[in-house]
Structures are given as structure tokens and as C-alpha cells.
């Protein structure tokens, strides 16, 4: 049997959503139900193929339909699409390349410095004494070689920290960079003075190992936060590279979309992407805008209706007049919204940076105070006093503080990956423990994003619901329309059908055995004067329409035998996720571009606290902001391009992994399994991760509380003095404890 190329558009074409006000309702608030005589049911299977006049259109007629002066004027006011496609000139897109460069830079500096650390380790007097090597490996000039190698590590490895130190000082916000710079600079200057004659002990080993650890920590950190800016490049790639433009002679010419101008006419063939925002001037078709607008069903498009660049034309050919290009296009505006939301998002200061700020103050004051007390009050010699001060400042910056956070991040990221949770933004992940409102997109997140059979009603006692579905699916097996796919996938058995025929704009029919089976829309049912008998209960049909479901009617040999309702299938895990979140006191809200009836039905089925329907893509980020202004810390979960600005605006953006690359690149966290229950797992993991980070910071800073007074010589009168070597040992011990504590996190986390 030859499979038909006919494709069915949506049976309930929605009005232009741009003309509707946003509607915010509680699930408990009923909305007036539509009668079955709704225009939204009029075109199940409005197709174009050999039966379609859209495929027979003549491009030459547009010469006469479009005023020549209108076309000429368009060329004067055209906006180049180059601003979208020349991504290399976009600083917002290049920002992603900047992150990649920084990560690679930290990685390269770490490996080079780590290699140089080996000879520093061997040449360090402290190591030689601890290992009992004594004079066996000493040679003339070894201290100068130690100085030269350490100098390379100091200047080359320390450069990123010097740069960060400069920025922190300019912003009057000292943090980790300042602490690192103070520690390594003090160690370097003092050790250099010792090499060239000052009495004392060098700190070169402490210096290079501190640089190594900090480079490693920042490399790990950069890997965990890199990638959000790549969303902008992904958005641009939605547009096709060329378009079929109709010239002044009515002939087709393929041109790059960067050459399209306002009021140009373009032909969009079945299966192609629409190259630019515009208005349909000829033809009818179904257009898939789900990735752009969140509308779960294909949208029927005909003359004078708007289309969005990047959406997919399902069937019949469309002739579109370009209305927006360049920076005014829908995708360009989404790019701008994503960029603004990312730039405007507040980044909470790291706990380690807070600790570093205080440790910087302690290091500077402690070192100065130590110097003053020993040299000025106790009249000790300069070399001793200076060594005590330097020991304090070096001891204040333990290796453990640099690893306290990155080690936990590395372990928790590995755990989360096994659980299907990909962490892209560490700050957002850490802050998710404080989330008290979760906003879900509907299509593709709470629902599967595709039509499925929700109700089968037989009006003939001799025909079971399963049999009705089997006959309908057998005919629909010849079509690739979403409605047909939904019916086909619901059937357990398929019968051979022949003489398949599409009724343009009305439905399909075929022969199965001796039965002519038709699956048609309500409009066609009325046109052929098929009426319901007296036993028919129209309240059930009325309810299905009020829920925004798509309903098609099944006829055997011209007699009505039943009807089938389809809806965007709610994920089984969605109800469990909503219940679990609500049990934790977290408010659950749905934000969708779909119509109010569909949104209300989904909200009632899931018991959501609140829903917002018919929200335009450019308004989603605004709605998230409004909820944030109500005092909520918001997590946004979505999968579509239209969700990208809202994902960026939310305190935590969570993308469903089965969604678009754009949503995933914009989000802070990606749920690989597309399971709403993973939102609960994410919040649990975030809480445990934060606790482990706090424990590590206590260990790292607790070391200072113990070591700094000893380094300053507080017990010198009792014969106890913390030497630089012992300080290094305690520093290493602190690092080992922090590392082990991070690894214990792995084994304590339930799978």
C-alpha cells in the first residue's frame, strides 16, 4: 500500500495569540465552556497535495496583487539580516568563546606549573630536611635555580590572580583573588630576599603548590559555569540559510536570508522552515510553532495570518510577505531577551569568596600586627619578626580553601550526571536549595508535547471503543499528521485500508473490508447533515471541548459511530513531582503559550497552585520577574525556545533534556531524562551539596583559627613556635581532610 504524502493540520486552529490578553487563573476558577459548535474544530486534516489549490498557485499573480510602489518602498526601509547571521561580530555570542578561552587558559597554566613544581619540590630545603636527604642532592647555585623556576610559576601561574586582584580592588570587593595574590606575593618577595642574603627560610614550595591548587580549582570552576552564552548561537541556527524569493517577474530565485527585505515575497514549500517573520499572502498549511511559542498543536495558517521565522511548514505551500528582518525579527528579539536576562541575573557571592575577604583582612592585619609586636614591642631582630609576619600571611591562605568548593562541585557534578542532572551553573545550583516556587512550562515538560488519545466514545452498542479506535487508526496509518500519529499510536491492531483519500480541510477516509471509514471534523459533520440521535449525551462532548481537546468523529458507511478526543498527554511523573514539591511547601505554577482551556484542564488534572495561559514568548520572562517580585525564589522548568528568556530570568533555569538545544544552553541545569520528578532529586542534591560545602569551609577556615595564632608565635613563651615547615604540614593536612570529606559525599549519597 502506498503511503499518502498528505498531512493533516491541527483540528482546532487557535486564534492569533498576539491579539489575546494574558489570562491568569486558579485551577479552581471555572471558565465558560465552549459549545461544540466552535470554529476551533473546523479543520482537522486541512491538507494540500494533489487535492490542494495551494500547490497550484501561480507566483506570477503576485505581481499584480502587490503594489509595485509598496515593493519599491520596502527596499528603502529594509533591515539587513546580517545582524542575526554574522554571529562572529556579536559580543554576546563571543562572550561564550571568552569563557572557553578562560577555561583553556587555566588548564594550560595548571599543567605547566604542575610540571615546574617537581624540581621546586626536589630543591626545597624543607623537603630535603624532612626526607633526610641533607647535603646529598645540594649543589652550588641550587637556590638560584629554585628562585628562577619559582619566579616562572609566580609570574606565569599567578597572572590570572593578579588580574583578578586588580578587578577586586577597583570594585572595592576583596575576595579569593586578593587573598591568593597577598599570599603568593608575600611568599615570593620574602623568599627572594632570603635567597639574596636575608636571614630566614624560603617559602617557594608553599608558593608554587598554592598556585597549582588555585589554578586547578579555578579550572574546575570554569568548566562548571561555562556554556550559557552558546544559547545565542543556537538561536541563530534555527533560521534556514536561504529562501525562495519571488522576484518582480514572478520567478523563484534562491537567495541568502541576509538579502531578504521587508515586503519581499518568499515561497515556503512543505517541510521547509519559514525563513523570516511575515504574513501569508497565498496558500494554506499547518505550521509547527511549538519550539518558538509553546503552542502544542500545529497552527493552521491561511491568507493574512502571521508566521514566525524558524517555524516549520508541515504541508501545503505558502507564499509569505516578509514583515520583519534583522533585529526586529522574533528570533532576534528572543536573543536580546535571553542576553538581557542573563546579564541582569544577580550572582550571589560565593561562600569561599566571603571567607576569602575576611581572611584577606586577617592576613594583612595579622601580619602587620605580628611584625609590630615582635619587632616593636618585644625588640626581636628584623629577620625573626619578618619571618613571623610572612608565616602568618602565607598560613592564612590554605590550599584547602581553594579546593573546598571545587572538589565538592566535581563530586556532586559526577553524582548528578549519573542521576541524569547536568549542572551548568554552579551558583544557580547551590542557590536552588532556597527555591520556594517552581514554574513549569506545559508543552514538553508537564506533558509529552505530542497528541495522544485521551477519550474514545462509541455511540453504537455493537461497536466497542477498542474496535472504533482500531478502524480509525487503520485509516490514519496512511497519514503523518500529528492527529493521525496520535490515533495510530494508541491502537493495538491495524487493519489493511485501501483507497485512502484526504478530504481537504475536513478529514480523511478509506475502505476497510466492506466499510467506508471516515474520520472528520465537527464542521464537516454538520456540512454533510449528520446529526446526533436523541440518545446522544452532548454534555460529554461539551466537556471535552471545554477542556480544549481535539475531537474527531468516526463514520462507518456514512453513519456516525463515535468520536475520539485527543490531547497533549500529561506525563505520568508530573503528578508525583507536583505532589512532592507541594508537600515541601513549594508553590507549583504552570506558564504556557497554549490556550486557556487546555491550560485549565492540565492544571486541574495536576492540582497546580496557579497557571498562566496564552503567555507570549516575549512575556514569559516578565511573568517570571513578576513572581520573583512577589517574594518567591523561582525555578523555571521548560524545553522550548520560547522558554529560553524565562529560563535565564529565573533564579534557577531547568531545561528538560528532550527539548531544544537553545533551552538547554540557556538553562543552569539540564534534566537529561525529561522527568519532572528529577526536579525533586535536583533540590535534594543541591541541599546535600551545600551542606558538604559548608563542612569543607569549616575545615578549611578552622585550620586558620588554629594555625594563625601559632604562626604569629602566641605560644613562643612556652617554647612552642610554628615553623614554616610545620605550617606547610598543617596546611597539607587541612587539604587532605577537605579532599576526603568531599569524597565521602559520594558514598553517602543514595543512588
What pLDDT digit, counting tens, does each position of 369-407 carry? 998 999 888 888 877 887 788 778 777 766 677 677 777
User: Measured between alpha carbons, how far is 589 from 601 in angstroms, rounded to an integer?
Assistant: 14
| 20 pLDDT higher than 80 | no
Of 290-299, 333-342, 546-555, 589-598, give the lowest mean pLDDT range: 333-342
Query: Above 90 in pLDDT, residue 212?
Result: no
Q: Are residues 741 and 669 in the same domain?
A: no
Given this model, what pLDDT does residue 482 score?
Answer: 75
Structure confidence at residue 658 (pLDDT): 56
- Residue range 552-557: average pLDDT? 92
Based on DSSP, count helices (H) and strands (E) in the chain, helices before strands.
Answer: 27, 23
- 202 alpha carbon, distance to own chain's centre: 49
pLDDT value at position 629?
95
Percent of the chain at pLDDT > 90 equals 21
First CA to last CA across the chain, in angstroms?
A: 50
Which grid coordinates are listed for 523?
A: 464542521
Among 299-303, 446-450, 658-662, 669-673, which is the least confidently predicted range? Answer: 658-662
Q: What pLDDT sits at residue 746?
A: 65
Residue pair 512/478 in contact by the 8 Å Cβ criterion: no
Q: Look at residue 43 and tell me whether its pLDDT is greater than 60.
A: no
Single out the residue in 212, 239, 266 at which a domain terminates.
Answer: 239
Q: Flag whether 352 is in a domain.
A: no
| Domain end position, chosen among 686, 704, 726 | 686
Task: At 173, give phi and psi (nearest 5°).
Answer: -140, 70
By the 8 A CB rule, do 290 and 308 touch? no
Q: pTM of the full predicted structure?
A: 0.55
Query: CB-hemisphere CA count at 13 Å for 326?
Result: 12
270 and 308 share a domain? yes
Tell me which of 441, 568, 594, 643 is the catalytic residue: 441
**Residues 137, 164: one domain?**
yes
Please indicate whether residue 133 or residue 718 has the higher confidence score (pLDDT): 718
Here the CATH number for the domain that contains residue 513 is 3.40.1110.10
Q: For the chain, what percent of residues have pLDDT higher than 70?
A: 74
Does residue 238 carry a pLDDT above 90? no
Q: What sections of 459-571 are H helices per DSSP?
A: 465-476, 482-490, 522-527, 538-546
Residue 433 domain-assigned? yes
Residue 204 lies in a domain: yes
Same domain, 279 and 327: yes
Q: With 80 as the cut, is the pLDDT of residue 34 above it?
A: no
Residue 5 belongs to a domain: no
Domain boundary among 190, 217, 239: 239
More confident residue, 370 or 1: 370
**Do 440 and 578 belong to one domain?**
yes
Q: What is the pLDDT of residues 664-708, one digit of tens each?
A: 667 788 887 778 899 999 999 888 888 888 888 888 778 778 888
Q: What pLDDT is recorded for position 347?
A: 37
Can you tell me whether residue 234 is helix, strand or coil?
helix
Query: Span 151-171, mean pLDDT?
Result: 92
My answer on whether 132 and 120 are in the same domain is yes
Residue-range definition of the domain harbouring residue 320: 50-80+240-342
pLDDT of 139: 77
pLDDT at 341 over 50: no
Residue 67: the pLDDT is 37
Establish if 88 belongs to a structural domain: yes
- Mark whether 122 and 153 lie in a shared domain: yes
Residue 48's CB is within 10 A of a number of other CB atoms, namely 27
Q: How far apart are CA 250 and CA 265, in angstroms?
A: 9
Counting the structural domains of the chain, the total is 5
How far apart are the C-alpha atoms of 176 and 351, rounded to whole Å?
Answer: 10
Provide the 3-class DSSP secondary structure of residue 561: strand
Q: Are residues 715 and 738 in the same domain?
A: yes
Let me know if residue 160 belongs to a domain.
yes
What residues have CB less than 8 Å from 715, skipping those under 6 apart? 709, 721
Q: Would you say residue 681 lies in a domain?
A: yes
441 is catalytic: yes
**Are residues 457 and 425 both part of a single domain?**
no
pLDDT at residue 33, as a whole number? 36
Do 105 and 234 reside in the same domain of the chain? Answer: yes
What is the per-residue pLDDT across 476-534, written as a single tens digit (0 to 9) for each?
Answer: 888 777 788 889 988 988 899 898 888 766 788 899 988 999 999 888 888 888 877 65
Is residue 298 predicted with pLDDT exceeding 80? no
Query: DSSP state, 365?
Result: H
Which CATH number covers residue 291? 2.70.150.10
Considering the domain architecture, whether residues 101 and 235 belong to the same structural domain is answered as yes
pLDDT in tens, 610-647: 999 888 877 889 999 999 999 999 999 987 667 888 88
pLDDT at 314 > cutoff 90: no
- In the predicted structure, residue 435 carries a pLDDT above the cut 90: yes
Alpha-carbon gap, residue 465 to 524, rounded angstroms: 22
User: Closest by alpha carbon to 342, among 433, 203, 231, 196?
Assistant: 231
Mean pLDDT for 733-746 is 78
**Does 539 have pLDDT greater than 60?**
yes
**Is 579 inside any structural domain?**
yes
Q: How far apart, in Å, are the Cα atoms of 535 and each of 68, 461, 532, 640?
A: 60, 12, 8, 44
Contacts of 359-364 with CB under 8 Å at 24 or more apart are: 359/179, 359/396, 359/397, 359/401, 359/701, 359/704, 360/174, 360/175, 360/178, 360/179, 360/182, 361/174, 362/396, 362/704, 362/708, 363/179, 363/182, 363/183, 363/392, 363/393, 363/396, 363/397, 364/182, 364/393
Distance CA 60, CA 662 (A): 39
pLDDT (0 to 100) of residue 318: 92
Q: Is the dihedral of CA 47, 50, 53, 57 positive or negative?
A: positive
Measured distance CA(205)–CA(390) in Å, rounded: 14
Same structural domain for residues 169 and 198?
A: yes
Mean predicted lDDT score pLDDT of the chain: 76
Gap between the Cα atoms of 498 and 491, Å rounded = 18
Amino acid at each position: 500500500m502506498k503511503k499518502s504524502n498528505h498531512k493533516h493540520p491541527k483540528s482546532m486552529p487557535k486564534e492569533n495569540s498576539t491579539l489575546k490578553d494574558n489570562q491568569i487563573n486558579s485551577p479552581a476558577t471555572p471558565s465558560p465552556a465552549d459549545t461544540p459548535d466552535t470554529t476551533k474544530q473546523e479543520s482537522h486534516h486541512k491538507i494540500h497535495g494533489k487535492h490542494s489549490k495551494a500547490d497550484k498557485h501561480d507566483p506570477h499573480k503576485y505581481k499584480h496583487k502587490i503594489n509595485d510602489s509598496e515593493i519599491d518602498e520596502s527596499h528603502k526601509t529594509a533591515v539587513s539580516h546580517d545582524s542575526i547571521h554574522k554571529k562572529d561580530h556579536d559580543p554576546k555570542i563571543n562572550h561564550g568563546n571568552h569563557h572557553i578561552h578562560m577555561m583553556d587558559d587555566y588548564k594550560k597554566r595548571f599543567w605547566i606549573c604542575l610540571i615546574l613544581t617537581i624540581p621546586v619540590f626536589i630543591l626545597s630545603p624543607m623537603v630535603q630536611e624532612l626526607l633526610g636527604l641533607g647535603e646529598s642532592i645540594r649543589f652550588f647555585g641550587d637556590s638560584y635555580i629554585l628562585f628562577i623556576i619559582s619566579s616562572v610559576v609566580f609570574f606565569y601561574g599567578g597572572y590570572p590572580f593578579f588580574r583578578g586582584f586588580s578587578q577586586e580592588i577597583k570594585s572595592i570587593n576583596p575576595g579569593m583573588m586578593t587573598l591568593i595574590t597577598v599570599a603568593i606575593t608575600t611568599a615570593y618577595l620574602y623568599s627572594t630576599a632570603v635567597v639574596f642574603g636575608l636571614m630566614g627560610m624560603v617559602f617557594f614550595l608553599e608558593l608554587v603548590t598554592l598556585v597549582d591548587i588555585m589554578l586547578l580549582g579555578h579550572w574546575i570552576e570554569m568548566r562548571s559555569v561555562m556554556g550559557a552564552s552558546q544559547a545565542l548561537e543556537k538561536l541563530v541556527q534555527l533560521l534556514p540559510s536561504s529562501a525562495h524569493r519571488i522576484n518582480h517577474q514572478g520567478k523563484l530565485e534562491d537567495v541568502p536570508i541576509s538579502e531578504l527585505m521587508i515586503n519581499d515575497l518568499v515561497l515556503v514549500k512543505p517541510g521547509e522552515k519559514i525563513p523570516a517573520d511575515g504574513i501569508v499572502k497565498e496558500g494554506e498549511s499547518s505550521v509547527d510553532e511549538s519550539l518558538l511559542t509553546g503552542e502544542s498543536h500545529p497552527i493552521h495558517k491561511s491568507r493574512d495570518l502571521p508566521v514566525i521565522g524558524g517555524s516549520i511548514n508541515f504541508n501545503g505551500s505558502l507564499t509569505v510577505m516578509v514583515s520583519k528582518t534583522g533585529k526586529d525579527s522574533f528570533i532576534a528579539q528572543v536573543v536580546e531577551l535571553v542576553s538581557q536576562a542573563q546579564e541582569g541575573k544577580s550572582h550571589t557571592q560565593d561562600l569561599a569568596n566571603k571567607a576569602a575577604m575576611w581572611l584577606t583582612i586577617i592576613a594583612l592585619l595579622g601580619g602587620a600586627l605580628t611584625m609590630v609586636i615582635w619587632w616593636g614591642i618585644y625588640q626581636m631582630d628584623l629577620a625573626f619578626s619578618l619571618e613571623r609576619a610572612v608565616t602568618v600571611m602565607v598560613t592564612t591562605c590554605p590550599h584547602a580553601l581553594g579546593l573546598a568548593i571545587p572538589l565538592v562541585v566535581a563530586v556532586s557534578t559526577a553524582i548528578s550526571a549519573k542521576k541524569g542532572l547536568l549542572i551548568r551553573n554552579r551558583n544557580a545550583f547551590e542557590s536552588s536549595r532556597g527555591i520556594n516556587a517552581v514554574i513549569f512550562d506545559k508543552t514538553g515538560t508537564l506533558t509529552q508535547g505530542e497528541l495522544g488519545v485521551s477519550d474514545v466514545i462509541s455511540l453504537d452498542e455493537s461497536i466497542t471503543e477498542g474496535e472504533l479506535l482500531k478502524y480509525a487508526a487503520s485509516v490514519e496509518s496512511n497519514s503523518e499528521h500529528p492527529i493521525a500519529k496520535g490515533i495510530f499510536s494508541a491502537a493495538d491492531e491495524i487493519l489493511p485500508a485501501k483507497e485512502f483519500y484526504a478530504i481537504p480541510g475536513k478529514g480523511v477516509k478509506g475502505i476497510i473490508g466492506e466499510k467506508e471509514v471516515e474520520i472528520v471534523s465537527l464542521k464537516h459533520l454538520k456540512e454533510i447533515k449528520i446529526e446526533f440521535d436523541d440518545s446522544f449525551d452532548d454534555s460529554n462532548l461539551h466537556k471535552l471541548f471545554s477542556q480544549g481537546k481535539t475531537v474527531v468523529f468516526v463514520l462507518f458507511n456514512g453513519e456516525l459511530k463515535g468520536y475520539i478526543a485527543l490531547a497533549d498527554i500529561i506525563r505520568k511523573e508530573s503528578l508525583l513531582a507536583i505532589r512532592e514539591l507541594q508537600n515541601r511547601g513549594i508553590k507549583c505554577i504552570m506558564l504556557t503559550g497554549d490556550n486557556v482551556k487546555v491550560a485549565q484542564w492540565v492544571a486541574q488534572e495536576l492540582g497546580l497552585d496557579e497557571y498562566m495561559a496564552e503567555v507570549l514568548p516575549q512575556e514569559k520572562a516578565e511573568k517570571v520577574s513578576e513572581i520573583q517580585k512577589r517574594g518567591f525564589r523561582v525555578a523555571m522548568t521548560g524545553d522550548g525556545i520560547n522558554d529560553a528568556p524565562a529560563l535565564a530570568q529565573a533564579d534557577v533555569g531547568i531545561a528538560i533534556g528532550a527539548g531544544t538545544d537553545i533551552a538547554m544552553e540557556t538553562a543552569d541545569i539540564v534534566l537529561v531524562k525529561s522527568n519532572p520528578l528529577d526536579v525533586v532529586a535536583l533540590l535534594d542534591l543541591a541541599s546535600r551539596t551545600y551542606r558538604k560545602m559548608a563542612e569543607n569551609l569549616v575545615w578549611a577556615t578552622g585550620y586558620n583559627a588554629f594555625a594563625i595564632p601559632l604562626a604569629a608565635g602566641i605560644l613562643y613563651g612556652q617554647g612552642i613556635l610554628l615553623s614554616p615547615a610545620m605550617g606547610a604540614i598543617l596546611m597539607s593536612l587541612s587539604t587532605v581532610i577537605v579532599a576526603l570529606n568531599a569524597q565521602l559525599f559520594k558514598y553517602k549519597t543514595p543512588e
